[in-house]
Amino acid sequence: MKIHEYQAKELFRQYKVPVPEGQAATTVEEAIDAADKLGGFPVVVKAQIHAGGRGKGGGVKLAASKQEAKDHIEAILGMTLVTPQTGPEGRLVNTLLIEAGQKIREELYLSLLVDRETARIIIITCREGGMDIEEVAERSPEKIIKVTVDPLQGLQGYHLRELIFGLDLPVPVRKGFSTLVKNLFNLFMERDCSLVEINPLIISDDDQVLALDAKVDVDSNGLFRHKDILAYRDLGEEDPLEVEASKYNLNYINLDGNVGNIVNGAGLAMATMDIIKNAGAEPANFMDVGGGATAEMVENGLRIILKDEKVKAILINIFGGILRCDVFAEGVVQAAKSVGINIPVVVRMEGTNVEKGRQILAESGLNLVTAVDLADAAEKIAAAVK
Ligand code: GDP
Ligand code: MN
């Protein structure tokens, strides 16, 4: 789950990771109030959306006076912010973060993330942080320092030394940097994070290190033990179809293609997406209704996929194990009747009571295409969207 910068900074404060003084606001009055309370200028006006690159899109502005702050607040709040990460449609800005402006001597990059390949936590840092970090990584990858930490061993002194000497940090900055990394590592572990990123991490004129930006992603599977973080969830930032699917416990991810698919079991869902691609078509979504899915879950899945306007045909691929094929077929027929389907639907099923299931589909009077196996299903679905 993604959270906003101001929420990530609340977590940083809990773990004594230094951040600028600041406050979130959702109205112009609140924001101006927040700027006044900081007691001086410059202040920074920052759009709060679940996407980066806000600086480049005009969503982060420095204000040298109250009038300037007011102008920026009025311009950014309510704007549709387009950044390199939002796509052309952009994101509506409903919340601002108003912060005390900082004097920046240097902008560094620092992040922690779960590295699947080594099953460890990887710390990435770079002396040349800021808005063009992707360029640095491209142009001079040797400037990016990576240290992997075994989660059972935890962060050790030698990890910190590797980072500090890799960055060639000035002596007066080293202690503050070490403490910050230690605290950030504790946050990462205790709060089940999958990513913590600070870009830029700044060094001030008086050698202090400070997180100017904050990005935190939390593993959704760990949210049950972090109620305070769960309360940060902003449904307005999430795909509406994914929000609806999560209400029914469907594992659903919206994608770019036009073949909708409903599958029981994550492995089968991955394989189904592969065969769709193999047949020259593109999946419009990943949907796993679960190995023990009920007919009702299939119906909910069907309803959600049909709301997706880019879907031109649907492939239902079910292995009848816990869910028997005849029960499933009855569910599909019932769902098709209640939802109303006006695009081609290809059904492939296999498993317990498959003959009975096929018979139910054949006699339903519905315009369903049945496939005998996976290859046949792929061919038929590809033909349906051509
Ligand atoms: P992002 O573009 O979404 O990553 O937003 P950031 O929070 O990283 O802000 C973008 C840029 O704005 C930073 O890289 C800084 O250069 C600049 N910036 C943000 N806050 C301040 C500040 O307090 N003082 C100054 N001088 N620049 C700032
Ligand atoms: Mn940033």
Q: Tell me which residues have their CB within 5 A of the ion that is ligand 2.
A: 199, 213
Reported as a single tens digit per residue, the pLDDT across 154-197 is: 999 999 999 999 999 999 999 999 999 999 999 999 999 999 99
Contact 25, 31 (CB under 8 A): yes
Whether residues 15 and 151 share a domain: the answer is yes
Q: Which of 68, 101, 134 is the last residue of a domain?
A: 101
Q: Which of 101, 120, 136 is the last residue of a domain?
A: 101
Please give the tally of structural domains in the chain.
Answer: 3
In order, the DSSP letters of 17-83 are -----EEEESSHHHHHHHHHHTTSS-EEEEE--S-S-HHHHT-EEEESSHHHHHHHHHHHTT-EE--
From the CA of 212, the nearest ligand is 1
From the CA of 111, the nearest ligand is 2
Whether residues 303 and 195 share a domain: the answer is no
pLDDT of residue 217: 98
- Find the CATH number of the domain harbouring 376: 3.40.50.261
Whether residues 247 and 114 share a domain: the answer is no
Whether residues 108 and 206 share a domain: the answer is yes
Whether residues 1 and 132 share a domain: the answer is yes
Whether residues 209 and 122 share a domain: the answer is yes
Whether residues 261 and 280 share a domain: the answer is yes
Whether residues 252 and 364 share a domain: the answer is yes
Pick from 101, 181, 173, 176: nearest CA to 149: 181
pLDDT of residue 178: 98
Distance 235 CA to ligand 2 centre (A): 22
- Find the CATH number of the domain harbouring 94: 3.30.1490.20
Output the six-digit token pair for 70.
Answer: 């007011």
Q: Is residue 130 lining ligand 1, measured as CB closer than 6 Å?
A: yes
Q: Is residue 81 lining ligand 1, measured as CB closer than 6 Å?
A: no
Whether residues 122 and 224 share a domain: the answer is yes
Whether residues 258 and 346 share a domain: the answer is yes
Whether residues 260 and 354 share a domain: the answer is yes
Q: Is residue 289 lining ligand 1, measured as CB closer than 6 Å?
A: no
From the CA of 198, the nearest ligand is 2
Whether residues 117 and 85 share a domain: the answer is no
Low-confidence ranges of the chain (pLDDT < 70): none
Which residue's CA is the nearest one to ligand 1's atom 12? 55
Reported as a single tens digit per residue, the pLDDT across 265-321 is: 899 999 999 999 999 999 999 999 887 777 788 889 999 999 999 999 999 999 888
Output the six-digit token pair for 21.
Answer: 């003084």
Output the six-digit token pair for 279.
Answer: 């047949």
pLDDT of residue 195: 98
Q: Which of 205, 236, 267 is the last residue of a domain?
A: 236
Q: Is residue 100 lining ligand 1, measured as CB closer than 6 Å?
A: no
Pick from 190, 195, 116: nearest CA to 154: 190
Mutate which of 41, 76, 213 for ligand 1 pocket (most atoms within 8 A of beta carbon): 213
Q: Which residue range is the domain that position 317 belongs to?
A: 239-385
Pick from 198, 94, 102, 112: nearest CA to 151: 112
Catalytic residues: 109, 197
- Find the CATH number of the domain harbouring 185: 3.30.470.20
pLDDT of residue 50: 96
pLDDT of residue 77: 98
